Structure 1
Amino acid sequence: MTTETLDLKTLYAAFRAENPKARIRDAAAQLGVSEAELVATGLGETAIRLDGDFRELLKQVPSLGYVMALTRNDSVVHERKGDYQNVSFNGHVGLVLGEDIDLRLFMMHWKHGFAVSENGRRSLQFFTGDGEAVHKIYLTDQSHEAAYDTLVAEFRAVDQSAHLTIDPKPEPATETPDSDIAVADFQQAWRDLQDTHDFFGMLRTYKVSRLQAMYLAPEGFAVQTSFDKVKLVFKRVSETGLPIMIFVGNRGCIQIHTGEVRKLVPMGPWFNVLDPAFNLHLREDHVASAWVVKKPTVDGIVTSLELFDAAGNQIALIFGKRKPGIPEQQDWRDVVAELAE
């Protein structure tokens, strides 16, 4: 362990002593390091470095049984319990398609991995090259501990030193000026959409950022609202049991909850969903804009609520529950029309 790592370990221990409830991501930000570097200070005690092809590792996660999957960005934490099922990859893009745990994986961003055991919680944790958390998998009291031990032993790195090579953070993408965008063509392409999955490709084709698209959308296809109204939507669906879909992502993973949300608990700056199998923790003060967005598909219009931070990063997307080939539920459209427009 290098002097630099020892210093960080001491700093982190002192920070936790003074801030016992602070999340590790917040500790990293305040200490001016990455979260992966803080995890690495526990190597030899609370952490084991993992190595190898993380795609092969993920194919074995179903053997762990019932676990909790956690994906987050700077503004929201998405936690979903269930079993990993139907894990597949096409190159560096992966899918986990279970009834409970539903993920889109972008493995080109998965660089560092650890098995972590702290305060009685055992987990697998993965990070980008610059040390930002991509995805975490926590064991529950229903998980298969022996399978976890087998997996960790197989993917345990030979090098268990605490030194990590941390890449520089990527520069934020430069937004194309509106004057350089073929706005009329972009708007027509939006009207001509056949599938919600084509939306991202359309943005790339016209070099439009996600937030910029909200302002440049065809009339009526993206209407700005407020987070207070979005909370009213949550309140209504929690009262009625109307199933919804909540997408939260970062560079390496998008995690989707499909189902009901029932227990809504505001707590300081956090808006929380605290249900038995699904928890959401969203920083209300990070929501700089909220939009009602409509996308044409072969099954009719699909309506979403989209949240953005002050830098234009997408915080979360919310849809009514639906599957391709099935039109959007009218109940969802009614709730959004009534409360969010």
Structure 2
Amino acid sequence: MTNREADLVIRVAALKQSTGKRYIEVAAELGLSEGEMIAAHQQLPSDMSALSSQALLPRWSEIIQALESVGEVMALTRNPACVHEKTGVYQLKSNESTHIGLVIGTEIDLRLFYKEWAYGFAVTDQSGKTEQISLQFFDHQGVAIHKVYLKPTSNREAFFTLVSRFQSAEKLVLPPKAALQPVAKIDAPDDRIDINGFRTAWRSLRDTHEFFGLLKQFGVSRTQGLRLAEPEFAQAVDKSSTHQILESAASLGIEIMVFVVNHGVIQIHTGTVTKIAVMGPWLNVLDPGFNLHLREDLIANSWVVRKPTVDGLVTSLEIYDEAGNVIAMFFGARKPGKPERCEWRRLIDGLLEESTSCAA
């Protein structure tokens, strides 16, 4: 252990004990990336630190493939404004490419973009009332993009066999957060965009998965594309719309799809939501097997978006942060080949009616 790592371990433990903050908050307060903090705790014995980690080899698709043997776990994907937690089994996986992975199980539903995954660790945390054991994956800036937590029902023997199989013999060294400055995204000027061509191509969509290609083809960001779209396909709505949609879906028992997005993972919940709770700035779904934690104060804008498909229009509520990054997207639950359900469209229509009324 280097002198710097030893100093970080002491400072992390002291701040954790004095404040009770989560480790992600401790790292931020100390000016560290979360990945850098976890890396500083590699191979520490429990009598030295409540937090310890083991570096993993960057064989991401193989690790995800092997997770099914561990049984029920909790998958966690987050971005700065939202946390999506889903309990289930990593099953029905597809790894046709080493760059993109799919997990499409009964409960765990993921799209994995491995080119953004840079570091992985097996982590043991004994700072709370119960021990927490997890796999944690980080991007090149040391930002957490996906985590997998053991549950009481998990197969611990299979988990530790997995860790032994993929553990790295070398310690990982992450660069300091101060040395990593992500490049800000700047939209192209509107007058350089072929707006008519963009609108025509939008109208010609036949699948929701074509939307990313549409944006790339015309060189527009998501929020710029929504702003330039025809009103029948994209309309801004009030920032409180997420709360309204969740409450309405819960009271009516409507099945929805909740996508939480970062650059390395898309994590999806499909089903009903039941318990909606507000705690300070946090809007929460607190259901068995699915938790969502959303910072409503970080929603910069909300849009109702319609995309043509061979099955008819598919409608979503999409929320974005100040930088134009997707926080989350909400759809009505539907199966391929089936049209969108009328009850979901009625919920969305209610948002538009309210937005129009407020504007008037």
TM category, shorter: over 0.9
Q: Secondary structure at the match of 1:105?
A: strand
Could you tell me which residue of structure 2 aligns to residue 44 of structure 1?
Answer: 43
Structure 1 spans left out of the alignment, 5+ residues: none
Could you tell me which residue of structure 2 aligns to residue 275 of structure 1?
Answer: 287
Report deviation, 1:172: 2.2
Could you tell me which residue of structure 2 aligns to residue 94 of structure 1?
Answer: 101
Q: Higher mean Cα deviation, 224-233 or 64-73?
A: 224-233
Could you tell me which residue of structure 1 aligns to residue 61 of structure 2?
Answer: 55
Q: What are the residue-to-residue correspondences of 1:218-297 with 2, within 5 Å?
A: 218-297=230-309
Give RMSD over aligned pairs: 1.4
Q: Which of the numbers 321, 329, 333 marks the counterpart of 2:341? A: 329
Contact 1:8 1:38 in 2 (8 A): yes
Contact 1:5 1:163 in 2 (8 A): no
Contact 1:233 1:340 in 2 (8 A): no
Rate the CA distance shift 1:222–1:52 in 2: closer, same or farther, 3 A.
closer
Could you tell me which residue of structure 2 aligns to residue 317 of structure 1?
Answer: 329
Could you tell me which residue of structure 2 aligns to residue 9 of structure 1?
Answer: 9
Could you tell me which residue of structure 1 aligns to residue 159 of structure 2?
Answer: 148
Distance 1:278 1:189 in 2: 36
Distance 2:320 2:22 in 1: 22
Could you tell me which residue of structure 1 aligns to residue 22 of structure 2?
Answer: 23
Q: Deviations over 1:252-304 (max 9, x none)?
A: 11100001110001001100000010000000100011111111111001100
Q: Secondary structure at the match of 2:5?
A: helix
Q: Is 1:179 matched with 2:178?
A: no
Q: Secondary structure at the match of 1:143?
A: coil
Output the amino acid matched with 2:7: D
Distance 2:287 2:304 in 1: 25
Structure 2 spans left out of the alignment, 5+ residues: 45-51, 354-360
Report deviation, 1:122: 0.9
TM-score, scaled relative to structure 1: 0.96
TM-score, scaled relative to structure 2: 0.91
Distance 2:200 2:125 in 1: 53
Distance 1:163 1:230 in 2: 40
Output the amino acid matched with 1:111: A
Contact 1:126 1:136 in 2 (8 A): yes
Report deviation, 1:219: 2.1
Q: Higher mean Cα deviation, 27-36 or 166-175?
A: 166-175
Report deviation, 1:16: 1.2
Output the amino acid matched with 1:200: F
* Aligned structure 1 segments of 4 or more residues deviating by more than 2 angstroms: 22-30, 162-170
